[in-house]
Each structure stands twice: as C-alpha cells, then as structure tokens.
Amino acid sequence: MANGNSTVHNSTHDQQANKGSEISTPSQIPQDELDEATRSSVAEQLDCQHDLVRADEENRNLFIGLLSISQNWDFWAARPTLVANEAVPLMNGCDPESWRERARREDPLPGYMIAAIERGLEIAKGEAANPQSPSDWLAWGKRHGLDLPTLKSANHLRDPDVNMWPLFADAVERAVQAGERYTGKSKAPRKFSEAFDKLLDEIDKRYNTQGGKLDRNAMPGTKDQLRYVARKFEPKSMTVELSTFDDYIAGVVKFKKGRQAIGTPNPYTDLFPEYSTLGAQKN
C-alpha cells in the first residue's frame, strides 16, 4: 500500500512539474475564483505567515535590545568593501565593534551567536577571503549557510529559531536601491580608506567610554577638524589637503548642518588628549 501511494504521489508530482508556469498557488489565484472554504484557508495561511514574520522580527529586536547591539547596519551596508571580521559578525546580527569587544562586554554574546560567527570566520580564513562588497559577502554567506537561524527564542527549544541575517541583508538591499553602495567609485586609495575606518572605530569607541554615541551621519565639528585628527592618527596614510580629504570621505560620513563660528573648540580634543595641539575652527 505504501508503495502504491508513493507511486501515485510521484506521478501527480511529475504531471504538475510538467505544467511549469501554468500552476498557481492559492494566493496567486483571483479571490473570486475560489470558493468560500478555500478563501478562508488561504487567508488563514497568509495570516500565519505574517505572524511568523512578525514574531521573527520581534525576536530579533528583543535580542538586539538585550545584547545592546549597535544598530548601524546602514552604515556598514554602504561601505565599499568589508573584511571578514566585519562582514561575518554583521551577517549574524552583531556589529563589528561588539564582536571585537566581546570579551569585555557587560552583556555577553550568546554562545550560539559566537559559535556561528567563529564558524563563518574559519570558513573565510580557510578560503583566504579577500575584502569584498557587502552584496558579495551576502552571496558568499548564503553559499555557506550563514543565512540560517542562530539564536533560540526559548531555552527549551532544540534548535535555533531566530534568524538575525535580515538585519544586515535588508540594509544592503536598501543601500543598493538608494544608490548608496560605493563599488569602486570612491576616490580614496585603499590605505586611506582602511586608516579612516580605523579612526572612525576609535572615535566611536572613545565616545562610548564617555557615555556617548557617534552618529556617522552627523559628525561633530568640521571636516578640517576631523582631518587634523586623521593626520595625527595615521600620518602616512591620511596627510592630505582639505579638498582631497573632502573627496576621500564623501559618502562615508556626513557632518552636522550649519556653519561653525571661528574659534569654536575642536570637539575631538576631549576624545584624543594625546593630541594636545588640536586646533579650533579657523575657517
């Protein structure tokens, strides 16, 4: 009997496969072509799917809040390239800074998240993965199964059920649609870009230690003041004229609107006390 049923099932499956695009799912069929019972069933299925999506989103937001993860997905999604230590944590719902500082965090990262990130980094290391665009990293991640759930919404569950992947993946999609992804169009040399990324990370870290938070879309001070810090931070890579500096950082950071008065103190002075000669606004 079992074999007979299997044969019938396979035959039906083959007939449907041969029809190709002629087959429509219930949700694709006009509602007026469905009887009342089918319409009710379709509506119930769609509601269930919607509830699952909403529950998954709520669980992600819950973990982000509990773990104090920085939600700067759009910034990372708009970067020209990312290295493995940035991309792999992001694909697992963890900002690179939280990953780097995981040993010193007050809110420990979940074991499942750490294991997933370490697995991804091992794969990247084994393949000697080079820096690449966020979209290319997502394609790479899918090939290696990084788009699967990695966290549990309840301890009694056997397998992870919360998928953190959409946090970064959706940001990359927004960046692509908005034209904010810079694929080789940046004028900045690679050494400058790498040094500037390190500077921004350092500024962000120092802001955090003072109880603040850096907004890379509303940077404090002026470009010239930031350039001064950059020259002190990495003189070999970031000692450039203001006009060149302006070109190099275009699309990476934005500054607060409004012109600063002459003599305005450099807002980075408190962050970098080792640079005692940071100047005030001159122009």
Q: Is residue 1 part of a domain?
A: no
DSSP labels, 120-136: HHHHHHHTTPPPB-HHH
87 and 126 share one domain = yes
Name 125's Cβ contacts closer than 8 Å, sequence gap at least 6: 84
Range of the domain at 98: 56-178
173 and 205 share one domain = no
165 and 148 share one domain = yes
Q: Is residue 27 part of a domain?
A: no
- When the pLDDT of each residue in the chain is averaged and rounded to a whole number, the result is 75
| CB neighbourhood size of 221 (10 A) | 21
Of 178, 197, 217, the residue at which a domain comes to its end is 178
Closest C-alpha among 176, 199, 178 to residue 248: 199
| Model confidence at 217: pLDDT above 60 | yes
User: How do residues 167-190 score in pLDDT, each as one tens digit?
Assistant: 899 989 888 876 643 444 456 787
Q: Is residue 45 part of a domain?
A: no
Would the pTM count as exceeding 0.85? no
Q: Provide the domain count of the chain.
A: 2
Amino acid 262: pLDDT? 54
User: How do residues 13-54 score in pLDDT, each as one tens digit?
Assistant: 333 333 333 333 444 445 555 566 665 555 555 444 444 446
144 and 68 share one domain = yes
Gap between the Cα atoms of 129 and 137, Å rounded: 10
Of 149, 178, 207, the residue at which a domain comes to its end is 178
User: How do residues 47-93 score in pLDDT, each as one tens digit?
Assistant: 444 444 465 667 666 767 667 676 788 888 888 889 999 999 999 99
Of 115, 145, 178, the residue at which a domain comes to its end is 178
